[in-house]
Amino acid sequence: MSRCSPFTVCISAWLGIVILSTGLLGIPSSLCASNDLHIEIRKKGLGKEVVITQGGREWYMLIEVTPENSVVVRQEKKHDTYLVDESETHDRPMTSGEVDAAITDYVNSVKARATKE
């Protein structure tokens, strides 16, 4: 019976986590909430895109990051009617932490509003 050194076990575990997480970053993440919200988050270049659907409603957010600026687009649709269609431009690129925080805040905001309706 051969024993692996603690260093080998640690490196093997770390490489497994890195390989698994790298594979998961390449595919859209889908989450289904108990109130039938369907959430898809995709990486788009340096930014991200989220699409949330519930029946005939759809919420959308795109954060596009370039070396010069960042653009945030928010839309909300009920069937074929746009209830919200807005965008904002920031004069600097957002960091990946800022992108993640904005996406998380948007998803939580939609979840809170969707449960009230």
Domain ranges of the chain: 28-116
Task: Over range 17-32, report the average pLDDT.
Answer: 46
| Structural element, H or E, at residue 73 | strand 70-78
Q: pTM of the predicted model, to two decimals?
A: 0.69
pLDDT digits (tens, 9 = 90+) for 70-103: 999 999 999 999 999 999 999 999 999 999 999 9
Contact 60, 50 (CB under 8 A): yes
The span from the CA of 69 to the CA of 75, in Å, is 20
18-22, 38-42, 90-94, range with the lowest pLDDT: 18-22
